[in-house]
Every structure is written in C-alpha cells, then in structure tokens.
Chain A
C-alpha cells in the first residue's frame, strides 16, 4: 500500500530498497534496479560486463516509462526553484534521462533508451532483435526497468481512471479478466534479457534459452491516452509477430497477455486474440495478477516469463481470477494453478496507451 493523498487508488506494488535505507534519488533507485537485473542476466548468460563494454559488437537497449525523476529536483521544483536555469515541472517532465545516462554511460552511442509507454519493454526486445538481424550487434542486453510508484504517477493514472479502486483488498486488487476487475495495480521492477546471434552463441558454446522468432508492432490513433477498442490493432500486432517468424496460429501454445486488469484492455485484447485465432485460441493468462503492471518494464519481464514457460513446459495462471468476465470470450483463461503441458511457442503482448502495440513470438530451440 502507498499513501497517495485523497485519490481513488491507494494500492501499488512498490519494491523496497535492497538495503532498507532508501535512495538519494529516483534515478539512483532506477539504476540499482537495472544493475541488479543486468548482473543476473549476464551471469546467467556467462558474460563479463567489462569485456562487453569494450566490445563494439555489444549494445544495450533499456525501456522505461519515464517517471524516474530525481526526488531532490522534484522537491526543488515544487518550491519553485530553477534547475540548471530552467523551471522544472514535476507534472510534465520526463527526466528519466538522468537515469538513462547513468545506465548507458559505459556504452556511449551503443546505448538506446526507449519509451513507448506500456509497450516499451517489448519494443526494447524488438530493437535488440533488429540489431542482431541487421548484423550490427552480436549481443544486445535488452529489457526494461521501472520505478514508477510515485505520488504524482498514481495521481495521474488515477485521474485517467486506469488504476484499481479495490483499496480494501490490495493483495487481490490486480485481477485480470475477472468480472470484478477495476483497474491496474502499478508495479515496479526490472528484467533484462541477453539477445544474442546464433553464431555468437555457438562460438561461445552456450545454449540459448529460446528463439526470439518474430515480433510485430501496430499503431492506432483511436485515442491519445486510451488503448484501442475492438482488438483490431492488437490483432494486427500479433499477426505481424507470427508472420515475421514464419509461424502460424497452430504454433502458439500459450499467450502471455498484456492483461492489465483494466476493464477496457482485457476486453479488447481478448477480442484481438479472437480475431487472430478464432475459436482455436490457445490457453492465455496474465502474470500481472502477481506482479502488477510494470509499465515500461512489463513487456520485458513478461517475455522472461514466456521463456520460462517454454523452458519448463509450465503455463502460469492469472492470479486472483475467480470469475471470467463473460464479455471476455476466449475459451481458456488459465486460473487457479499453473498448468504443466508441452509448450514450444509463446506469444507475448504489450499494449500501450496512445496506441503503441507490440507482440513477440518466442519459440523453443
């Protein structure tokens, strides 16, 4: 629970400081999240960071939503002070730049920060895939990091009506596809993945976890701050992901849905899946029932979950899903407990406000 004044939402999944002492600034907090995830990813991949920094064939792409302003600047701005000779607006600014400069400084122009709202985590993976495919990189460290639980952020999204109002039951407030869902629960965290060319992995003698087989994006302009209704544009992103992988709907064993727990997204996403798969949709679930919505990092952590589904033949359930909204008309929303079935292909969705939609197709090697 977070205290957010008198707004409608008082629930968020905030990650405490690792040492319990907090951080000097939001940028440093974001940096700490990133470094934790990056270190874990590199260790898992058997890579040494120092060697990567000097390797021109290595790149880094990090997604974030952009609410990592410095708390000292926030406070100063709130007092009306100028920062670097300028007025700062805590309302409009996107000073995640400071965090991005901290994260990417070692890699110079081989670092990119991307921000396409809630699809950004998947867009970062798409960027990594394109860099490898174009022969510009052998290894790309890609993913998302989010430290967005801030009073202003909660106020903004609450004002938009996107956040849950289930304040009395915070543990179950994120309940994608449930008939009682009432908005998303903001979450925090980081997930970094190592995207590597097949040749590079072979040369290093490592076995990749899965193939980033295809990806698709599609953009709508239905509304500047709302997702697309009807599922048409989401379907286009999914179809493009399958097409770019040379895959068919029959190759998809599971869909990790964007599934935010907002009334509109869960409905339109279900409609989008029906447009692509008809009555033959595979099992679907949203892991946001557990994590909340990690915004710019959501696509990355959910891609990691999707890889784990392939690696372990285990499909995660949607936590807190008791009764499926009858308007969500897919046949198999996984709930209750995980399902252990063969899984060799996963579609993972991330859809953003303002109509930026992305899907990736991950495949067993």
Chain B
C-alpha cells in the first residue's frame, strides 16, 4: 500500500484571495483573525473535499495544525485591558457581547467544526499544537492511520492567519492535502516526510503535487526507523 496525495490545495500564502468569511461561516465573529482562520480553513477544505458527496461512505481522518500567529491578535483587547486594574472583571465585561465561541480559543477546533459541517464521516480527529512542526505531525498521522487501515481518507491542513500587520500576506493562508491509499507505481518518486518549520512541509507537498499536473498523485512515505537488531 502506498499513501498518495490525490488532491492538494493552497489558499493565500501570497496568492490573492477574497476575504468574505461572513458569508461562509455559520456564526458571528467580531475578531477578524478568527474570521480569516475560518475562511481560509473552509476554503482549503472545500478544495480538498472534491465534488459534493465525493467523500460519502469513506472513513475520514482530520489532522489540523495550529499556527502560533493565529494566537497573536487583537490589539483592541490589549488596549482595552491596558488601564484596567481588575483584569478579570475587565475580561468578563469584554466577553459579554461575544459569541461563546470567542471565549474559547480553539481555533483549530473551528476547522474541525467547519469540516464536519461538510458532512464527512470523521473517524479520527487530532489537532497538533506543537507549533514548530505541527504540519509534519498532521501529515505523518494521516499517512500512519491510512497505513494501518484506521481511515480511508486523510486530510492534513495547516492554517496561519493573523490580523496583525506584522504578519505579511505571504505568511497568511491555509494549505492542505488529501491522502488516500493506493498501489500506483506511476506516482513518481515518493515524497519523504521530514519536519521543518511549519507550514513549509505542506507547502512543499502542495507544490510537488501541483507540479505533477492534473489528475496525478504524489506518493508519500514515512521514514521508518527499524527496531534495533532487526
């Protein structure tokens, strides 16, 4: 069995995209970064899902990589808190008009929510929060779970978003791959996974897959360290 990337997607990261998240997401947000995150994740997922109903009947695994820049946001709140002696009271008052979602910070769970809203059958869901190589963990888990038959299709997605001007547009985006099991011997040289600062791995995979042309698949392999003495 080989793990094959049959669909890849990249939104943003230097390519233009239209931010129109309020029409795409089912709940209200006043925080632009979270809106960006939702928009980017959903847009990426829609490309990975393929045609409507294509994933029906498949056991899917969702592997998200969070990105630290999504956590660095909201000068407004900092300004709001700056002169407050009682931060707890200030936070409480600040939160009163917000969606409960915003009171929690699970940005990657938003991705899960949006993905499952698309009607896929989720058998595995993990969000990786070790930020230095989260996308590597996500892709490796998808390949791993495919190889042992725990899932039929794996989605690995990394999203970076920020409302901060410090994060240049080239750094904002969502990139992901859809991985299936296959036996193709025409998939070209296998892409061997190795970690690097995220989301470079997924961006390289997406680029390598795109370079193969429409309808092509990119084989992916996990380096396996054999047990000592084997």
Q: How large is the interface on A (under 10, 10 to 19, 20 to 34, 35 or more residues)?
A: 35 or more
Number of interface residues of B (CB under 8 A): 73
Contact with A along B64-107 (1 / 0, CB 8 A): 00101101111101110110101111011011000011111111
**B129 contacts A354, CB within 8 Å?**
no
- The residue in A96, A117, A135, A218 that gathers the most chain B C-beta atoms within 10 A of its C-beta is A135
Any A CB within 8 A of the CB of B122: yes
**A97 contacts B225, CB within 8 Å?**
no
Partner of B104, one of A96, A114, A353: A353
Any A CB within 8 A of the CB of B220: no
| Count, A-B residue pairs, CB within 8 A | 210
Segment from B7-15, B43-51, B145-153, B169-177 that makes contact with A: B145-153
Known A5-B86, A57-B227; contact A136-B116, beta-carbon cutoff 8 A: no
Residue of B nearest to A225 (CB): B100
Distance between Cα atoms of A159 and B93 in the complex (Å): 10
Chain A min CB distance to B158 (Å): 14
Chain B min CB distance to A246 (Å): 14
Any A CB within 8 A of the CB of B211: no
Contact with B along A76-101 (1 / 0, CB 8 A): 01111001011111111111110011
**A77 contacts B78, CB within 8 Å?**
yes
Chain B min CB distance to A285 (Å): 27
**B130 contacts A112, CB within 8 Å?**
yes
Partner of B91, one of A64, A91, A200, A356: A91
Contact residues, A135-159 vs B (CB, 8 A): 135-136, 138, 151-152, 155-156, 159
Any B CB within 8 A of the CB of A355: yes
Distance between Cα atoms of A93 and B69 in the complex (Å): 9
Contact residues, B106-126 vs A (CB, 8 A): 106-110, 112-113, 116-117, 122-126
Residues of B within 8 A of A117 (CB): 106, 109
Any B CB within 8 A of the CB of A130: yes
Distance between Cα atoms of A125 and B66 in the complex (Å): 20
Distance between Cα atoms of A118 and B110 in the complex (Å): 15
Distance between Cα atoms of A218 and B62 in the complex (Å): 11
Chain B min CB distance to A26 (Å): 14
Known A5-B89, A117-B106, A117-B109; contact A135-B224, beta-carbon cutoff 8 A: yes
Residue of B nearest to A105 (CB): B132
Contact with A along B127-162 (1 / 0, CB 8 A): 111111110110001001101101000000000001
Distance between Cα atoms of A130 and B81 in the complex (Å): 44
Partner of B225, one of A4, A56, A108, A221: A56
Residues of A within 8 A of B208 (CB): none
Partner of A86, one of B72, B112, B122: B72
Partner of A221, one of B66, B84, B113, B166: B113
Any A CB within 8 A of the CB of B228: yes
Any B CB within 8 A of the CB of A174: no
Partner of B88, one of A5, A101, A200: A5
Residues of B within 8 A of A218 (CB): 122-123
Partner of A220, one of B109, B116, B141, B222: B116
Distance between Cα atoms of A115 and B110 in the complex (Å): 13
Distance between Cα atoms of A100 and B132 in the complex (Å): 10
**A156 contacts B104, CB within 8 Å?**
yes
Distance between Cα atoms of A319 and B165 in the complex (Å): 51
**B112 contacts A219, CB within 8 Å?**
yes
Contact with A along B193-225 (1 / 0, CB 8 A): 011000000000000000000000000001011
**B123 contacts A224, CB within 8 Å?**
no
18 further A-B pairs in the complex, CB-CB below 8 A; given A56-B225, A221-B113, A354-B104: A64-B129, A87-B78, A89-B74, A92-B73, A94-B106, A97-B131, A108-B195, A130-B144, A136-B144, A151-B91, A160-B104, A217-B124, A218-B122, A219-B112, A219-B116, A221-B116, A224-B101, A356-B112
Enumerate 16 A-B pairs (CB-CB under 8 Å) in ascending A order.
A78-B87, A79-B82, A86-B162, A87-B73, A89-B78, A91-B95, A92-B34, A95-B71, A97-B68, A109-B137, A133-B148, A151-B87, A217-B124, A219-B62, A219-B112, A355-B113
Chain A interface residues (CB < 8 Å from chain B): 4-7, 55-57, 64, 66, 77-80, 83, 85-97, 100-101, 104, 108-109, 111-117, 123, 127, 130-131, 133-136, 138, 151-152, 155-156, 159-160, 199-200, 217-221, 224-225, 240, 353-356
